[in-house]
Amino acid sequence: MSSIYYTMAALFFCAVSHAQSVEQIDGKIAGNLKEHELIYQHFHRYPELSFMEFKTSEKLSDELEKLGFKVTRNVGGNGFVGLMKNGPGPVMMIRTDLDALPLEEKTGLPFASKVIMSDADGVEMPVMQACGHDMHMTVWLGTAKVLAALKREWKGTLMMIAQQAEEKSGGADAMIADGLFTRFPVPDYALAYHVSAELPAGSIGFRAGPFLAGVSSVDVTVHGIGGHGALPHRAVDPVVLASRMVLAYQTIPSREINPLTPSVVTVGSIHGGTVHNIIPDEVRMQLTVRYYDDETYEHIMSSLQRIGDGIAGSAGLPEKMFPEVHSLGQTPPVINNEELTMNAVASFRSILGTEQVIEVEPLTAGEDFARYGRTAEKVPIAMFWLGTVSPEDYAAYLDHGKELPGLHNPEFYPDFVPTYKTGVRAMAKAAIDLFNK
């Protein structure tokens, strides 16, 4: 009888504790909402390109410092790290990105970006937060503020990191190379959001295991023997060779890779020749390769070279003129740690409700958040989709097939209030639960 009593008492205490935690989180969010909406509008109005997020980094790091975090700036460039030590316990890393895209905004918002920036080559271009990094920063800051205010509810070290250059990739590598996991504590958990242009505001999408694809940009140079367009028999036409290669490349995912293993090989650019009647001696192609495991990536890269060599050899070219296949580097796939993902999902569902936490399929987009889980420290990582679509637009999408502006679209913007509230509520609850696990 006594064991039943203690079990019931423990369950009652847990329920009360959970209700108090949720009430505290919601109270802090309500108090921060107006201030953080203005901060969001600032980041939206004044975006900066990858590796050039100087003012963005300065403002966000100043805001974090106000909350009592010990901030170390210029980690790997414009990145920074904020630490809040709160007794013994796990180390929790929560990450945001900082950069924007070279797009002209067409949202019509009163705080729309009108920024024109010069890139690293001095080319002027419009800039826009078309991938939701302004939302990432604001939810990240909101989460930090809630957790700082609720220090009595958790023990451990909160590690808030802000990373430059996610869009171009390289920002995560730069922070790691600058000692992210040697100058600062090694996280027990690393969490992040990416906004979704397809899920309704108020919801979160999750996937344990493969979440986002690995990405590699590949340059292929196809050599030939140039000549007069009227005398093709005296040339070896690289335009024809490249055309054969484009078609043959599609047999890699369709005939060489296991049908149950997703992969993509896309030729996004092909350039060769100058005028109508000259056969060029060279064609250049640019490819994107997508994959979810290293073995698939190595197979694709090997096949790109093998296919090119075979086609060049069949045209009678010597081996020294076989195509050159060169990867410009790769962003590895985001593979969510299953235990961490499902622990966070349990927390999300406890505060949002089961229906608002949706299991999704993997996507072949890329994200360099993956890098933090690929170091020698083997940090468990988990990334989640944060829904942004307003209830009205989502209902029109479901009922009438209304087109929703996607990420990297000049008309994309999130429905701020429900997106912010959901993001902060869920992340703060997951962090507190993981600290206390």
Q: How confident is the model at residue 3 (pLDDT cuts 50, 70, 90)?
A: low
Q: Which residues, in sequence order, are CB contacts of 297 under 8 Å at separation 6+?
A: 214, 216, 289, 291, 330
pLDDT of residue 4: 61
pLDDT of residue 11: 47
Lowest-pLDDT choice from 118-122, 223-227, 230-234, 353-357: 118-122
Q: How confident is the model at residue 7 (pLDDT cuts 50, 70, 90)?
A: low
Average pLDDT (332-346) is 98
Distance from C-alpha of 80 to C-alpha of 74, rounded to nearest angstrom? 6
Same domain for 220 and 166, yes or no, is no
Q: Which helix (H) or strand (E) holds 384?
A: strand 381-389
Same domain for 118 and 206, yes or no, is yes
Flag whether pLDDT at 13 surpasses 90.
no
CB 242 within 8 A of CB 315: no
pLDDT of residue 10: 47
Q: How confident is the model at residue 246 (pLDDT cuts 50, 70, 90)?
A: very high
CATH number at residue 309: 3.30.70.360
Same domain for 219 and 151, yes or no, is no
Same domain for 117 and 190, yes or no, is yes
CB 93 within 8 A of CB 431: no
Residue 288 lies in a domain: yes
Average pLDDT (185-209) is 98
Please, what is the average pLDDT of the chain? 95
Lowest-pLDDT choice from 174-178, 327-331, 415-419: 327-331
3-state secondary structure of 70: strand
Number of folded domains that form the chain: 2
pLDDT of residue 20: 72
pLDDT of residue 437: 84
Flag whether pLDDT at 332 surpasses 90.
yes
**324-331 and 204-206 as β-strands: parallel, antiparallel, unpaired?**
unpaired
Distance from C-alpha of 10 to C-alpha of 225, rounded to nearest angstrom? 81
Lowest-pLDDT choice from 207-216, 240-249, 267-276, 392-401: 392-401
Residue 274 lies in a domain: yes
Flag whether pLDDT at 80 surpasses 70.
yes
Q: Which residues of 402-416 are buried (b: 16+ CB within 10 A; e: fewer)?
A: eebbebebbebbbbb
Flag whether pLDDT at 59 surpasses 50.
yes
Same domain for 314 and 355, yes or no, is no
Residue 366: both structure tokens together:
């890329």
Question: How far, CA to CA in Å, does 432 sit from each of 63, 149, 339, 381?
Answer: 21, 12, 16, 17
Mark which of 307, 331, 355 sits at the end of a domain: 331
Other CB atoms within a 10 A radius of the CB of residue 273 amount to 17
Q: How confident is the model at residue 303 (pLDDT cuts 50, 70, 90)?
A: very high
Same domain for 258 and 207, yes or no, is no
Structural domain that includes position 354: 9-212+336-436
Question: How far, CA to CA in Å, does 104 sit from each of 114, 115, 188, 417?
Answer: 8, 9, 40, 24
Same domain for 271 and 295, yes or no, is yes
Residue 362 lies in a domain: yes
Q: What one-character-per-residue DSSP string does 252-289 give?
A: IIIIIS-TTS--EEEEEEEEE-SSTTEE-SEEEEEEEE
Same domain for 189 and 45, yes or no, is yes
Residue 2 lies in a domain: no
Nearest to 80 by CA among 106, 98, 92, 67: 98
Distance from C-alpha of 237 to C-alpha of 244, rounded to nearest angstrom? 11
Distance from C-alpha of 58 to C-alpha of 229, rounded to nearest angstrom? 58
Same domain for 390 and 417, yes or no, is yes
Half-sphere exposure of 342 (CA within 13 A, CB side): 4
Residue 3 lies in a domain: no
Nearest to 147 by CA among 359, 396, 352, 428: 428
More confident residue, 7 or 179: 179
CATH number at residue 121: 3.40.630.10
Q: Which residues, in sequence order, are CB contacts of 144 under 8 Å at separation 6+?
A: 64, 67, 69, 82, 84, 94, 158, 160
Mark which of 285, 307, 331 sits at the end of a domain: 331
Same domain for 425 and 360, yes or no, is yes
Mark which of 300, 331, 362 sits at the end of a domain: 331
Distance from C-alpha of 218 to C-alpha of 284, rounded to nearest angstrom? 11
Same domain for 320 and 359, yes or no, is no
Residue 45 lies in a domain: yes
Q: What one-character-per-residue DSSP string does 306-337 give?
A: HHHHHHHHHTT--GGGSPEEEEEEEEPPEEE-
Residue 378 lies in a domain: yes
Q: Which residues of 193-206 are buried (b: 16+ CB within 10 A; e: fewer)?
A: bbbbbbbbbbbbbb
pLDDT of residue 171: 96
Q: Which residues, in sequence order, are CB contacts of 277 under 8 Å at separation 6+?
A: 228, 229, 230
pLDDT of residue 401: 84
Residue 4 lies in a domain: no
Q: How much of the chain, in percent, has pLDDT values that exceed 90? A: 92
Average pLDDT (200-219) is 98
Same domain for 53 and 178, yes or no, is yes
Is the pTM value of this prediction over 0.75? yes
Flag whether pLDDT at 2 surpasses 90.
no
Q: Where are the beta strands (DSSP E) in 140-213?
A: 156-163, 189-200, 204-206, 209-212
